[in-house]
């Protein structure tokens, strides 16, 4: 029984890790999405099913003692189920896209359901958080703010950094207003760094990236009588 529990835990952790990497800015929100648990349970169940088959057919996997046989069976069930459920039997051309058909199709569908659920749940929260950064000038922040956020994190991959720079450059070349660009810049940074890091970076830069207050227009001086 313990072996099945271990395999189920390993499979569930792999599934959860996949989801967490997709939502790095707010991974805790995953627990409120039903499709998230369906994805985790499917990964856990696949490992348990594989271990059941291995033990039913009596595969000792070359091990010579009972303890090593149990360990080998658990490893084989965990790794084997992960590989099988992420494989495709064949590929079908649908329009202009190649669609993989096989066990991976089910995982892809559950991932898509989790994506939609988390996106809907996070959208309202992200809007409220972005409203706290309306006084930022995009032209002043476009270089300094992303650079500071990445320096604070230290472990952002080169690919993610390049994607962020590309997105910021696309914003700079768009026809949106400075305020609209600034709002989208904040949302992009939240995807990479999370709201807390973005807030800290904005606080460190302070007035250096703030929108300049509109000057007061002085009226004509009154002539002395």
In tens, the pLDDT along 85-100 reads: 666 665 666 666 666 6
pLDDT higher than 70, residue 164: yes
- Side-chain half-sphere CA neighbours of 210 within 13 A: 10
Cα–Cα dist 133/180, whole Å: 11
Question: What's the pLDDT at 24?
Answer: 66
Query: For residues 7 and 14, what is the distance between their CA atoms, to the nearest angstrom?
Result: 11
Write out pLDDT tens, residues 123-155: 777 788 888 788 899 999 999 999 999 999 888
User: Which token pair is 14?
Assistant: 């792999």
Q: Which of 52-61, 122-131, 176-185 has the highest mean pLDDT?
A: 176-185
For 182-221, letters b (16+ CB in 10 Å) and e give: bbbbbbbbbbbbbbebbbebbeebeeebebeeeeeeeeee
CB atoms within 10 A of CB 109: 13
């Amino acid at each position: 029984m313990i072996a099945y529990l271990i395999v189920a835990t390993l499979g569930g952790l792999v599934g959860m890790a996949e989801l967490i990497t997709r939502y790095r800015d707010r991974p805790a929100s995953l627990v409120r999405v039903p499709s998230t648990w369906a994805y985790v349970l499917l990964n856990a169940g696949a490992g348990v099913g594989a271990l059941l088959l291995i033990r039913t057919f009596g595969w000792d996997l070359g091990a010579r003692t009972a303890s090593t046989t149990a360990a080998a069976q658990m490893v084989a069930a965990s790794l084997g189920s992960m590989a099988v459920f992420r494989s495709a039997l064949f590929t079908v051309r649908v329009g202009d896209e190649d669609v993989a058909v096989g066990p991976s199709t089910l995982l892809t569908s559950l991932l898509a359901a989790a994506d939609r659920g988390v996106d809907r749940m996070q959208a309202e929260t992200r809007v409220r958080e972005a409203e706290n950064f309306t006084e930022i000038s995009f032209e002043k922040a476009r270089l300094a703010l992303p650079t500071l956020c990445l320096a604070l994190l230290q472990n952002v991959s080169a690919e993610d950094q390049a994607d962020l720079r590309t997105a910021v450059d696309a914003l700079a070349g768009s026809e949106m207003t400075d305020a609209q660009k600034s709002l989208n810049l904040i949302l992009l940074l939240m995807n990479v760094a999370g709201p807390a890091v973005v807030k800290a970076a904005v606080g460190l830069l302070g007035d250096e990236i703030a929108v300049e207050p509109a000057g007061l227009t002085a009226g004509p001086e009154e002539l002395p009588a």
